[in-house]
Amino acid sequence: MSGDWRAEVRGRLADSVVTFDAPMARAVTLRVGGPAECLVELQSERDLEAVFEIIAERQLPFHVLGKGSNVLVRDEGLRGLVLRLGPAFRSVRRLENSATVEAGAGISNGAFVDQCRRWQLGGMEFLVAVPGSIGGAIAMNAGAHDGETAAFLRTVRVFFPRTGISDREAAEFQFAYRESPLRGNLGRMVLRGAFALQRLDEEEIRGRQQRILQWRKEHQPSDFPNCGSVFKNPPGDFAARLIDRAGLKGHTRGGAQISEKHANFIVNRGGATADEVLALVDFIQETVYSRTGVMLELEMQVFPLEYVSLG
Ligand SMILES: Cc1cc2nc3c(=O)[nH]c(=O)nc-3n(C[C@H](O)[C@H](O)[C@H](O)COP(=O)(O)OP(=O)(O)OC[C@H]3O[C@@H](n4cnc5c(N)ncnc54)[C@H](O)[C@@H]3O)c2cc1C
């Protein structure tokens, strides 16, 4: 990393909020992890382009963060920049009285689904209990209750490091189970998405939302910080079932615990470190593999990633 990049970031990003030595434990739902050298809450596309110019010129490492609901930040923290979308990217509008809704990638899934319900547009209620942003939902192809984000996505506005911002058809991209080629670890940043919903009665949508929230309350832990499912479900099975069958519920490493309520959740019972969470991850993978031959794959994103170089 060359020169005084901090001064340049501070000086060139006129619209955005820049914080140095930002505590990342506050920015992720699991509430663990060390600080980031610099957290930028972007407030304009102009600043987004400017910050990527600085990143490329000075070869800085960077990470893209949404609401941090599927991210573990390691205890040593993050070098370089963490980029997050600010309030300017949280607008939502219905296109010409149609069933298509365009949403800024920074809006929370809950706010998006609620607004769609008020327009009597439904189908994406499965996102009501996924506590991330629309950008994170597109990047992760978030899904639940037999629905997934990519099935509704029609167009997407994305920043690509080498070509800049463009509006693209969603069909151009290959989405899979909790996977997309638009994720921040590939140096890409989703700015907006347009979704085709269905015209439905508001009460019917509200009822679906309530049933989903009730199901979550009964089946998933809500009493301690967590980051949702730690592992992807292996083909034809459920990670939670395999972990439960291996007798691992309730095991702890320091303040981190395999949830008693849902075996695919690791909860922070207070003061957990990222190392303790990762020790449980290893323990689960090794135990499940030795008993079943299945190596569980992480769904949770561990930062720092292999740093992306734009040089
Ligand atoms: C209680 C709980 C329940 C959950 N239930 C579900 C569930 O049912 N189904 C499900 O799929 N997930 C679930 N999750 C996980 C998580 O909420 C989703 O993966 C969500 O889509 C992540 O969105 P986020 O904005 O928090 O992204 P983050 O967690 O901040 O980031 C996740 C990944 O997306 C990338 N990313 C984020 N925003 C952007 C962007 N704008 N452009 C490019 N890349 C981006 C990041 O770089 C990172 O790789 C749950 C989590 C919790 C805590």
Q: Are residues 235 and 208 in the same domain?
A: no
Confidence of residue 216 (pLDDT cuts 50, 70, 90): very high
Query: Counting atoms of ligand 1 from 1, which one is nearest the CA of 138?
Result: 21
Domain that holds residue 173: 90-216
Q: End-to-end distance of the chain based on CA atoms, in angstroms?
A: 12
Give domain status of residue 1, yes or no. Answer: no
Ligand 1 lined by 256 (C-beta under 6 Å): no
Give domain status of residue 201, yes or no. Answer: yes
Domain boundary among 171, 196, 216: 216
Give residue-wise pLDDT tens across range 11-46: 999 999 999 999 999 999 999 999 999 999 999 999
Output the CA 134–ligand 1 centroid distance in Å: 9
Whether the CA torsion 270, 273, 277, 279 is positive or negative: it is negative
Query: Counting atoms of ligand 1 from 1, which one is nearest the CA of 227?
Result: 53
Q: Which of 64, 140, 222, 307 to mutate to test the pocket of ligand 1 (most atoms within 8 A of CB)?
A: 140
CA separation, residue 240 to residues 30, 178, 247, 286 (Å): 18, 16, 11, 15
Domain boundary among 216, 235, 250: 216
Strand pairing class (35-42; 62-65):
unpaired
Q: Say which residue the tokens 């593999």 belong to.
A: 289
Question: Shortest CA distance to 36 belongs to which of 303, 306, 274?
Answer: 303
CA–CA dist 197, 153 (Å, integer):
9
Q: Are residues 235 and 299 in the same domain?
A: yes
Q: Are residues 256 and 268 in the same domain?
A: yes
Q: Are residues 94 and 55 in the same domain?
A: no
Average pLDDT, the chain: 95
Give residue-wise pLDDT tens across range 247-266: 999 999 999 999 999 999 99
> What are the φ/ψ torsions at residue 118 (nearest 5 degrees)?
-65, -30
Give domain status of residue 162, yes or no. Answer: yes
Residues 117-139: what's their mean pLDDT?
Answer: 97
CA–CA dist 216, 307 (Å, integer):
35
Q: Which residue lies with its CA nearest to atom 2 of ligand 1?
A: 228
Q: Are residues 129 and 206 in the same domain?
A: yes
Give domain status of residue 310, yes or no. Answer: no
Res. 287: pLDDT tops 90: yes
Q: pTM of this prediction?
A: 0.96
Q: Are residues 227 and 282 in the same domain?
A: yes
Query: Counting atoms of ligand 1 from 1, which one is nearest the CA of 142?
Result: 11
**Mind telling me the catalytic residues?**
178, 229, 299
Q: How far is CA 133 from the centre of its chain?
A: 7
CB atoms within 10 A of CB 126: 23
Q: Are residues 139 and 186 in the same domain?
A: yes
Q: 134-154 in b/e burial notation, b at 16+ Cβ within 10 A?
A: bbbbbbbbbbbeeebbbbbbe
Instruction: Give me the pLDDT at residue 1, please.
Output: 56
